[in-house]
Amino acid sequence: MSQEQPRRSDHEQEEEEAIKYGDVFQVSGELGSKPITPQDAATMQAAENMALGHIKKGGPAAVMQSAASVNENRRVVGHNDVTPDQSVTVSDAEVSGHHIITESVAGQVVGQYVGAGPPTIGPKSGGGEGDDLVTIGEALEAAAMSTGEKPVEQSDAAAIQAAEVRATGRMQVTPGGVAAKAQAASSQNVRATRDEDKAKLVDVLADASSLLGKDKAVTREDAEGVIGAEIRNQPELATYPGGVAASMAAAARLNQQNN
């Protein structure tokens, strides 16, 4: 008579099914056994955007996003899950006449490659101070780079307005500012019948820093305010992946690691 195998706990099954850092990167220790979460991926995506001006194709952020999407689809991680004590760093240094870009998670290198041209960035991370803090304008511009082709909706306009209020300290929409531009784009898109005629996020946010006039480093409170504004104006009551609220949340996490 065959003996029934011991039943594994739900936690063990989830850990077995989740894609972990050690599955996709050459890392060791505790980090290697941790599942990659959507918010981890968003943080790396924001760091790459802030430091490089784009998300590197096939780079750590792209790999993490793919792994996180699989994990979320498998329901082994939640959309808002984040790995504790996970600092992210993207730095650029000159070595023997070449500039080497290094991306790290929790102090372990997850990507390193030779960049084109001379070094253009310093460390952009969750471990520095002062100039390394991500501003609201930079977070908005990061959203333009990650989801720039998304048509502007009312939820986007509301989130952008909340971000502008946080940056400027003024409750009124600034005439000609980024929030006014977003609201106009949202209204235009309601009337547009074809997607190609709709204004996109990149049209509104590409120069967000200059349109704000006044800027500040993103705090957790700033991110929460923007997230709330986006969710309240979204029928699904959720934030858009890589969108305004997600970019603000990732920037806030990077800045929190700086302090």
For residue 56, count CB atoms less than 10 angstroms from its CB and return exposed for 0-12, middle for 13-18, buried for 19 or more: middle
Same domain, 73 and 135: no
Residue 1 lies in a domain: no
pLDDT of residue 181: 96
Q: 83, 110, 125 — which closes off a domain?
A: 125
3-class DSSP assignment, residue 102: strand
With both helix axes pointing from N to C terminus, report the angle between 136-147 and 154-168 in degrees, rounded to the nearest 10.
160
pLDDT at 99 over 50: yes
Same domain, 108 and 145: no
**Does residue 234 or residue 121 have the better pLDDT?**
234
pLDDT of residue 128: 37
Domain that holds residue 229: 131-258
How many domains does the chain contain in total?
A: 2
pLDDT in tens, 1-24: 444 444 445 554 444 589 999 999
Same domain, 53 and 84: yes
Same domain, 253 and 137: yes
Same domain, 64 and 114: yes
Q: 125, 145, 176 — which closes off a domain?
A: 125
Same domain, 40 and 104: yes
Q: 71, 100, 125 — which closes off a domain?
A: 125
pLDDT category at 36 given cuts 50, 70, 90 is: very high
Residue 141 lies in a domain: yes
pLDDT in tens, 71-85: 988 989 987 788 877
Same domain, 149 and 98: no
CA angle, 161 then 145 then 125, to 5°: 90
pLDDT at 65 over 90: no
The whole model's pTM is what? 0.66
Residue 222 lies in a domain: yes
**Does residue 121 or residue 44 have the better pLDDT?**
44
pLDDT at 142 over 80: yes
pLDDT in tens, 160-216: 999 999 999 988 888 999 999 999 999 999 999 898 899 999 999 989 999 998 899
Same domain, 116 and 176: no
Residue 2 lies in a domain: no
pLDDT category at 117 given cuts 50, 70, 90 is: low
